[in-house]
Structure 1
Amino acid sequence: MSYPKKVQLPLTNYNQINLNKNNLLVLYEDMLLGRNFEDICAQMYYKGKMFGFVHLYNGQEAVSTGVIKLLNSTDYVCSTYRDHVHALSKGVPSKNVMAELFGKETGCSKGRGGSMHIFSAPHNFLGGFAFIAEGIPVATGAAFQSIYRQQVLKEPGELRVTACFFGDGTTNNGQFFECLNMAVLWKLPIIFVVENNQWAIGMAHHRSSSIPEIHKKAEAFGLPGIEVDGMDVLAVRQVAEQAVKRARQGLGPTLIEALTYRFRGHSLADPDELRSRQEKEAWVARDPIKKLKQYILDNQIADLNELNDIQSTVKKDLEQSVQFAISSPEPDIKELKRYLFADN
């Protein structure tokens, strides 16, 4: 099965996208940062600098950037085990994410979380989760406390929005349905973002779900379900902008199904032999970073020199991040049990 041949998505109306040059370059830089960060992770993993399971995000950058770059610093993001790029988009410094992957004390989770459990309280990044659907109840709780702060504690200001990311395989799990029901019942300010990359580890999506169109599952609970081209950052942003506005106004949740694709195997331990070469080539031809770059150049928003400067800045930042991680101290063995419980 190959999505480019199977699904016809509505064309994005770029005339309705209110983005200036600075906004577009921020989106471009964020996607470049995510892609290059993951490529370096692969290098470091094969050099023995990282251990355990590492799941990379290559190909899906338009979803993370398109949603998270719309959020405020006070908003929340909840991720999966494919969480590095979500953390970067939310503003967690690349050096602290890299150090976490190296298991160092300077990591955003003090080296205790590793690749699948990135967490940063200062950035309201609620963590990556190793188990399928584990993060959805956590995100639902975060959205509930936003309502509680405003309606019970009478805190001033607008509602804080929670963006909850998960994969297509998760949408056959009971927690997905339970939390959609609660979110609608209590009109929670949450956006459920399904990153449908067509494969749940080694199971093709169309073979595992009785309703392959995940966005249609929203109908059962009475919330909007929207399908979007997850390889187009501007299309994702356009849909997410309406979902964020709806949530912040207290109108409740939205389910967004972003049709995307991971360019690498499920994890760096996966030889990626189950997917056909033709399928992979069809998706790689729709690379979201190349698509945005071409849009910027075609519309003379920025020239090639400016885009190359962004690439150089990202490369330099990641080189410094690797050096920071390598030179950072290991966690002290005497503090092995620290952070297991809250301090008094």
Structure 2
Amino acid sequence: MSTSVTGPAPGQDVPPVPPVSSEAAARRDLDADTRRNLYATMVLSRTYELAIVREYHADKGPGFDIGKGLVPGEMHLSAGQEPVAAGVCAHLTKDDAVTATHRPHHFAIAHGVDLERMTAEIFGRETGLGRGRGGHMHLFDPAVHFSCSGIIAEGYPPALGAAFAFSRRPGNRIAVAVTGEGAANQGAFHESLNLAAVWKLPVVFIVEDNEWGISVPRTASTAIASNADRAAAYGIPGERIEDNDVEAVYEAAGRAVARARAGEGPSLIEVATLRMLGHFEGDAQGYRPELAEVPQHDPIPRYEARLREAGVLDDAAVEQIANEATSRVEAAITFAKESPLPDPAEVLKYVFAEEA
């Protein structure tokens, strides 16, 4: 079953710019370079995922066989959730740690994970981040302290471990832990918030609320309207960002990151975001009554329209950003395809520690 991201591409006709409240407009004093960079990060992430969709479905037929092709297995894409990663990671350095979810590509890209080695890992190649053994849900890049996992809420406790270590070393490094709204009902979520608050750890907790835990709507699984309200139970700040607003995410993340770096402890940010595609590629999404309305909420053309209206972007800038993203992504795809597959004879290598 083929799946595609619908809606206009960067530079094409876009839906009307949604209104901005006077309060929101008053706080929008971001400089043009910051706004362009946020947009460029979002475009790079979307360009990458469109390329992954193309390669993933190219040889899954006839019909749809999840085990076939250059990229066998499940594929969870983050199209529509780019504002969260762009807004948060804009405040981080490569020395800060990020633990992401099973839908990780946007955060990996925004945090500077090596694009070629990440793509090779997704393709199961020896040049990948995990030498092709981990796949797209298990990306680890020590160079920028990035990791992710297919286990729900798994990233929260490791982020605490990183933050605990950072708090006992010179400097002001922090950890960012990302999960979905469904995972906020897991024990690991609550245990991590509690321990981070008790120890006053330099960590920022991010919840991506895309409204769907696989096929279950948030309203059917969670007793409260906003997971940000749960922060109060642990005596830490909690904030919810509506409308998938990248600049509002940037501002909230700036406050939380500054608090963590200053030694003031953890914060929780929940972002109302959008899952444009299925839970996994091949998901028909028959459970989504609002599916036809999803393209008009695509955050990239909406943000592009806003920046054009503000004079931050024009045709030339949009084209340049799109071309640069395409060039980087296609180079990474080529690198992955030309890289060797792991040697089956070495199937147990890297599983156990080897004696010197």
Question: TM-score over 0.5 for the alignment?
Answer: yes
What amino acid sits opposite 1:135 in the alignment?
Answer: G
Secondary structure, in 3 states, of the residue corresponding to 1:195? strand
Q: 185, 209, 215: which is aligned to 2:222?
A: 209
Q: Alpha-carbon deviations, 1:262-316, whole Å to 9, x = none?
A: 000100031111001xx23444322211122112211112311111111011112
TM-score w.r.t. the length of structure 2 is: 0.87
Q: Do the aligned partners of residues 275 and 186 (structure 1) sit closer, same or farther apart at CA in structure 2, a change above 3 Å counting?
A: same
Q: Alpha-carbon deviations, 1:3-23, whole Å to 9, x = none?
A: xxxxxx977634434533322
What amino acid sits opposite 2:350 in the alignment?
Answer: Y
Q: Alpha-carbon deviations, 1:205-249, whole Å to 9, x = none?
A: 000111232111111111111010251110110111000000100
What amino acid sits opposite 2:158 in the alignment?
Answer: V
The count of corresponding residues between Structure 1 and Structure 2 is 327
Q: 274, 293, 299: which is aligned to 1:288?
A: 299
Q: 204, 221, 226: which is aligned to 1:191?
A: 204
Matched, 1:231 2:244: yes
Q: 128, 132, 150: which is aligned to 1:107?
A: 128
| Residues 12 and 235, structure 1, Cα contact 8 Å, conserved in 2 | no
1:63 corresponds to: 84
What amino acid sits opposite 2:254 in the alignment?
Answer: E
Q: Considering only aligned residues, what root-mean-square deviation do their CA atoms show, in Å?
A: 1.8
Of 239-248 and 47-56, deviating more is: 47-56
Matched, 1:34 2:54: no
Secondary structure, in 3 states, of the residue corresponding to 1:122? coil
Secondary structure, in 3 states, of the residue corresponding to 2:139? coil
2:192 corresponds to: 179
Secondary structure, in 3 states, of the residue corresponding to 2:302? helix
Structure 2: unaligned runs, 5 residues or longer: 1-19, 59-68
What amino acid sits opposite 1:292 in the alignment?
Answer: Y
Matched, 1:85 2:106: yes
What amino acid sits opposite 2:107 in the alignment?
Answer: H
Of 93-102 and 200-209, deviating more is: 93-102
Structure 1: unaligned runs, 5 residues or longer: 1-8, 150-154
| Residues 187 and 253, structure 1, Cα contact 8 Å, conserved in 2 | yes
| Residues 81 and 116, structure 1, Cα contact 8 Å, conserved in 2 | yes
2:22 and 2:140 mapped to 1: Cα distance? Answer: 36
1:289 and 1:267 mapped to 2: Cα distance? Answer: 21
Secondary structure, in 3 states, of the residue corresponding to 2:297? coil
1:18 and 1:164 mapped to 2: Cα distance? Answer: 27
1:4 corresponds to: none
2:164 corresponds to: 144
Of 319-328 and 280-289, deviating more is: 280-289
2:340 corresponds to: 329
Secondary structure, in 3 states, of the residue corresponding to 1:109? coil
| Residues 304 and 313, structure 2, Cα contact 8 Å, conserved in 1 | no
| Residues 62 and 230, structure 1, Cα contact 8 Å, conserved in 2 | no
Q: Alpha-carbon deviations, 1:30-60, whole Å to 9, x = none?
A: 1011111111111111122201111000100
What amino acid sits opposite 2:71 in the alignment?
Answer: M
Secondary structure, in 3 states, of the residue corresponding to 1:123? coil
What amino acid sits opposite 1:186 in the alignment?
Answer: W
| Residues 59 and 288, structure 1, Cα contact 8 Å, conserved in 2 | yes
Matches within 5 A, 1:41-56: 41-47=52-58, 48-56=69-77
Percent of aligned pairs sharing the same letter: 37
Of 159-168 and 40-49, deviating more is: 40-49
| Residues 231 and 287, structure 1, Cα contact 8 Å, conserved in 2 | no
1:5 corresponds to: none
Q: 137, 141, 145: which is aligned to 1:116?
A: 137
| Residues 81 and 106, structure 2, Cα contact 8 Å, conserved in 1 | no
Matched, 1:314 2:325: yes
Q: Do the aligned partners of residues 143 and 17 (structure 1) sit closer, same or farther apart at CA in structure 2, a change above 3 Å counting?
A: farther
Q: Alpha-carbon deviations, 1:143-165, whole Å to 9, x = none?
A: 1111122xxxxx3x2x2111111
Secondary structure, in 3 states, of the residue corresponding to 1:113? coil
Matched, 1:273 2:295: no
| Residues 240 and 270, structure 2, Cα contact 8 Å, conserved in 1 | yes
1:38 and 1:292 mapped to 2: Cα distance? Answer: 18
